[in-house]
Structure 1
């Protein structure tokens, strides 16, 4: 017997009560703990935003200083994890390397003391601190180079860019990287966050929670979309080809990467901020020819699909920002993961507060009362 209407993808069905973030898709509003994303992008930094998401309020000056110092002192990874990563195939995707490494981290801290606030804080600090180190380390090791040690004189985003290049980044580049992390830190009950909460509900350790979420984020319909946007822009090649490309997609009913969102029916507010960041980078470091293509695409897609509420989402401009920062395309989604760890951990902590294991039902479509046939008669 069907107890309720089946909704593919659980569309519109609440999976949890949460006080972490809020989206109004009709008005283009995104809030973290009630604070608009535009305010956080302008005034906050990533670790302060992470603290806000995880502990529910902005830290005092002393609390933020202590938190930043804790994260700074835990950036280094175990040599055994580093040795394990060296054995990964060079052709492997960085998201797969990150998922394996995050899971392996749990081997060293497998004690599950989920009612102990010290254990929870230590896990939060360790995951926030080491995930960027793992991403940067794999990027260098797959080229045959040793990883770069963290620079304790640099803040969170600047240190990540330093570990990729062993060069201190330009202050504008570091600030823009930090804002990108803020923008990607949390977004209600998306696929990877739902994965994190389902895993958390079993009362496993937080490293398994993050590893499961990383695996979910890697798909092209979720975090992997920003990679495909760049591939799409490269395929289009010129502004003149934009309209024929869009027309072809519509005729084939093919998805146009970077456009449309399950929640937003207006332009994603994060896309608006990212577009401004891209323009700041281009003004200082030179234009990207694909930006003109992207702008034309936004015009053409709006002309043809705005009546359906299809506008640029967060993935559309993020790749252009990362390209200008010199980041390889297949690191775009791992950077998304670096940021989203904050949101996943916030949901992990919230899930523990009133936990009940997820056990949804299903609509059975199979047959009944089938007789077994011995193998000799098949």
Structure 2
């Protein structure tokens, strides 16, 4: 038998792709003809209403006389403004991620005793099942930590004595364990990736039961386990603001779609991680830094607005750096005038940049944020109200905190796991119907042709 070469750009693979292209084109006009809401978006850019939730509200615009009116962004967890949560925890000088996880799961703010008990429960669940790290992470390293997160979560099914029990009690147990374990899986996967692919030292520090989630992450990734309280509190804020963003974002919707089938929690959360990995979703924070590094190399004078604008125009015209035509971190499906998460991160980034001697770099980020909308309008001919989204400044904050770029998107995942689990349980307990949208078929009836008569 002749061996077929399926490597990239091989003649055999190219022939197969040409066969696909010849038989699978759908004209863009057909989407308008049949009123298909691509991306589950209405013609005005608003999302198609797909469900109800008590968990979170994402506000980015107003509707008046059928028209979308830009508005200041607002994000609420169980009705509480995100800014109030951040400011409250900051004023009391305490960590907030665990409190937010409780709030999202149970629907109200915890009392001090409830929060203390919950922290102890999370801490007690951080350890991975016996031999899990050796068998599922160390023996099967991955170049991409997000890939390892998804595979490891799926593998936890095999270590659960009652994985398919869909009762509230069992779902809650599994959810709490996943919230606690995902940061451990992330840091282990990162260490193995360092050793296997980067040829660097690998170290596994013991877990400290007295540490918060943010502290435990810094403890795991720092070679000497040292970090300041200020660093841990800033990482905690990052986790807090990434913990939830409504039922309509792609990864949470993915978790709800799978949950609507009655599948196990590990399948649903693994799929959500796969969704978040995409560069049009959580993976954008890594792409922002790649884009900005290219800009910093390609622009001689960072303060020259014309030179910066020219580079942004080249990005939109798919000339640099990844030829996607996207200015990562700018624009959002819901937010118009501002993304409240980006506003919080920008303030933190500015403070940290001044302390770390990186003010010029921060100023460049701010300059790109200001110039991007007008460059977009120039290139597309479509003026649009655009703001920096959460991904734009998160990578910069992580860089200044010494978080490796391999962990930018995984940090998003270990934060968003709280929201995913809350939505998973809400879907299971309140909806009770499998999600099944419609797709219109454009294929025409043709006769079956015997194989020896085909051209």
Q: TM-score, normalised by structure 1?
A: 0.94
Deviation at 1:251, TM superposition (A): 4.5
Alignment of 1:11-30 (within 5 A): 11=41, 12-25=47-60, 26-30=71-75
Alignment of 1:61-210 (within 5 A): 61-83=112-134, 84-89=136-141, 92-109=143-160, 110-117=162-169, 119-144=170-195, 145-165=202-222, 166-188=224-246, 189-210=248-269
Greater shift, 126-135 or 20-29, is seen at: 20-29
Secondary structure at 2:368's aligned position in 1? Answer: helix
Contact conserved, 1:76 with 1:149, CA < 8 A, in 2? no
**Matching of residue 246 in structure 1 with residue 297 in structure 2:** no
For 2:448 and 2:396, locate their aligned partners in 1 and report how far apart those are by CA, in whole Å: 58
Deviation at 1:247, TM superposition (A): 2.3
For 2:245 and 2:127, locate their aligned partners in 1 and report how far apart those are by CA, in whole Å: 28
Secondary structure at 2:72's aligned position in 1? Answer: coil
Contact conserved, 1:112 with 1:205, CA < 8 A, in 2? yes
Instruction: Give 1:311's aligned residue.
Output: 387
From 443, 449, 455, the counterpart of 1:366: 443
RMSD: 2.0
Instruction: Give 1:326's aligned residue.
Output: 402
Instruction: Give 2:77's aligned residue.
Output: 32
Deviation at 1:148, TM superposition (A): 2.4
From 345, 349, 370, the counterpart of 1:278: 349
1:26-48 superposed Cα distances (whole Å, 9 cap, x missing partner): 32111111111111122240010
Contact conserved, 1:158 with 1:168, CA < 8 A, in 2? no
Instruction: Give 2:5's aligned residue.
Output: none
- Cα gap change, 1:153 to 1:247, in 2 (>3 Å): same
Secondary structure at 1:19's aligned position in 2? Answer: coil
1:66-101 superposed Cα distances (whole Å, 9 cap, x missing partner): 1110000111112432112112245x2110011001
Aligned length: 374
Secondary structure at 2:75's aligned position in 1? Answer: strand
1:155-194 superposed Cα distances (whole Å, 9 cap, x missing partner): 1111111111151321111001001011111111100011
Deviation at 1:285, TM superposition (A): 3.3
Q: For the pair shown, which has the larger CA radius of gyration, 1 or 2?
A: 2
Contact conserved, 2:141 with 2:189, CA < 8 A, in 1? no
**Matching of residue 49 in structure 1 with residue 100 in structure 2:** yes
Secondary structure at 2:76's aligned position in 1? Answer: strand
Deviation at 1:303, TM superposition (A): 4.2
For 1:330 and 1:235, locate their aligned partners in 2 and report how far apart those are by CA, in whole Å: 18
For 2:259 and 2:131, locate their aligned partners in 1 and report how far apart those are by CA, in whole Å: 26
Deviation at 1:249, TM superposition (A): 3.2
Greater shift, 128-137 or 10-19, is seen at: 10-19
Contact conserved, 2:214 with 2:232, CA < 8 A, in 1? yes
Deviation at 1:216, TM superposition (A): 0.5
Unaligned runs of 5+ in 2: 1-30, 42-46, 61-70, 90-95, 196-201, 319-323, 378-382
Q: TM-score, normalised by structure 2?
A: 0.78
From 290, 296, 303, the counterpart of 2:361: 290
Deviation at 1:286, TM superposition (A): 3.2
Instruction: Give 1:346's aligned residue.
Output: 422
Deviation at 1:229, TM superposition (A): 0.5
Greater shift, 182-191 or 166-175, is seen at: 166-175
Contact conserved, 2:72 with 2:338, CA < 8 A, in 1? no
